Amino acid sequence: MTKGRRTFERQLPADRRHALIEATLVCLARQGHEGLSIRRISEEAGVSVGLINHHFPSKTALVAEAYRMLHERLAQTLVDAVKAAPAAATARQRLDHYINAFFAAPNLNPDILHIWVVFWSLSRHTREIRDVREATYAASLDLIEGLIGDALREAERDPAAAHLAAIGLTAMLDGLWLESCLNPSTFTPTEGIALANAWINAVLGG
Amino acid sequence: MTKGRRTFERQLPADRRHALIEATLVCLARQGHEGLSIRRISEEAGVSVGLINHHFPSKTALVAEAYRMLHERLAQTLVDAVKAAPAAATARQRLDHYINAFFAAPNLNPDILHIWVVFWSLSRHTREIRDVREATYAASLDLIEGLIGDALREAERDPAAAHLAAIGLTAMLDGLWLESCLNPSTFTPTEGIALANAWINAVLGG
DNA sequence: CAACAAATTGAACGATTGTTCAATTTGATT
DNA sequence: AATCAAATTGAACAATCGTTCAATTTGTTG
């Protein structure tokens, strides 16, 4: 009966690696730091414990890859939202698209934010994770800084202020994201959007 | 020779508990999540592994107490800074004192922020930790909301806006705090103060 | 169909985890 | 000096941790 059943199925390394990364994110979302175990991840992925170290040199490398991939996915939705603006849209309107996307799924999702917090907590003591964090922060800041810079030029104001203003907007968004994740009842997405817009208006108008 | 040496020294339960909490914070600052182990904490405190569970029902209870104590200590420095303002100070000036204290030691300390991130990451899956987080957030928000409300009245504006504005300021401060902790070179304390003040001016002026 | 590279398994390893509890030591009380 | 509650110890426990590696299975190639 069970004689002919294959005991496992081969996959291309790239596919298997991707599946392991997905399983890592699932475990992180479900159990936080405690979900970050080789045995839990391999079970979630439906493979043996040994396979992870066949495809990744260490657990840390797997986590770093998961960090990179999650950031890429989220960042892409924000970039797409900005690109979805009409060709004739002003820079201010593109900023609106960015902020609206920020306070919507899949970005504003408690699961995702909880994964993120674990990454933050890891970034202190593991260089590999810290490097990923630096890169993701820089990428986010670059996008926002560009949008704010364009809007400043549009308002005929000095675009040199864009860098610090972008740090401020990033901080407010991160802070709102964090609080909304830890306790979604503190404020509504609408209120979050209003706060972010108030900051942008202050930057552009004052 | 060693015959007469005492093998341990008794302490009042309150003192011992306090020492264990301090050791927990030291271990957290030094090793992050990995420092959060009974054996590391007990070694840091110079006691045996068994003593922790004599004074605390579980490791989680100890961590929750450490969370509470650290918040209380930090919050007190901010409250003290506000109280240190001259009696004739305006509400706007008291807000200034708050912000300046926020961007100074002991508050703006990478060690402390890294401890905080671990607490955040724990708050998801352990009710005890989550309860502490809610309480500390509410306490911080209350203080800021009061200050902003006073400043709004001073500016003859509607104080009803204080609640949302306080959520916004808290978010920006948390975001700046976080980034400054994870990478102190992103911006200077002076720039952080300027950003927070820009937000307050927008709230009061616009 | 035989051969083979490599994807996969799973037992094993030594280290570490939080918690328990009987035994020991302390310091104040009588 | 004897008594005793309780603060403290540290061995023991069952789980779990990340990693290693010889053995097995797979799917493709010759």
Q: Chain A residues with CB inside 8 Å of B33's CB?
A: 33, 121-122
What DSSP string runs through A113-168?
HHHHHHHHHHHTT-HHHHHHHHHHHHHHHHHHHHHHHHHHHHTTS-GGGHHHHHHH
Nucleotide nearest to B36 (CA to C1'): C17
Q: Whole-angstrom Cα distance, residue A188 to residue B106?
A: 32
Given a contact cutoff of 8 angstroms between Cβ atoms, the answer to whether A182 and B133 are in contact is yes
Weakly modelled stretches of chain B, pLDDT under 70: 1-4
Say yes or no: B161 contacts chain A, CB-CB below 8 A: no
Distance in Å from C19's C1' to B62's CA comes to 14
Average pLDDT in the A66-89 region?
Answer: 97
pLDDT surpassing 60 at residue A4 = no
**pLDDT tens-digit readout, A153-203:** 999 999 999 999 999 999 999 999 999 989 999 999 999 999 999 999 999
Chain B touched by A132 (CB under 8 Å): no
DSSP state for residue A40 in the 8-state scheme: H
Q: Is the whole-model pTM more than 0.75?
A: yes
Q: With 80 as the cut, is the pLDDT of residue A206 above it? A: no
Confidence of residue A3 (pLDDT cuts 50, 70, 90): very low
Measured distance CA(B55)–CA(A102) in Å, rounded: 45
pLDDT at B4: 54
Give the pLDDT score at B6: 83
Average pLDDT over residues A20-26: 98
Q: Which helix (H) or strand (E) holds B81?
A: helix B59-83
What is the per-residue pLDDT for B29? 97
Does nucleic acid strand D have an atom less than 7 angstroms from the CB of A70? no
Instruction: Please indicate if any CB of chain B lies within 8 Å of the CB of A201.
Output: yes
Strand, coil or helix: B14: helix
Average pLDDT over every residue of A22-45: 97
What pLDDT was estimated at residue B2? Answer: 36
- Could you tell me the CA-to-CA distances from B204 to A172, A205, B199 in Å, in that order? 18, 14, 9
Strand C proximal to B52 Cβ, under 7 A? yes
| 3 state DSSP class of B42 | helix
Q: How far does Cα B65 stand from its chain's mean position?
A: 13
pLDDT at B66 (0 to 100): 98
Test the B interface: residue of A111, A121, A181 with most B CBs within 10 Å? A121
Does residue B31 lie within 7 Å of nucleic acid chain C, judged by its CB? no
Is B94 near strand C, with its CB below 7 A from some atom of it? no
Structure tokens at A206: 């004052």
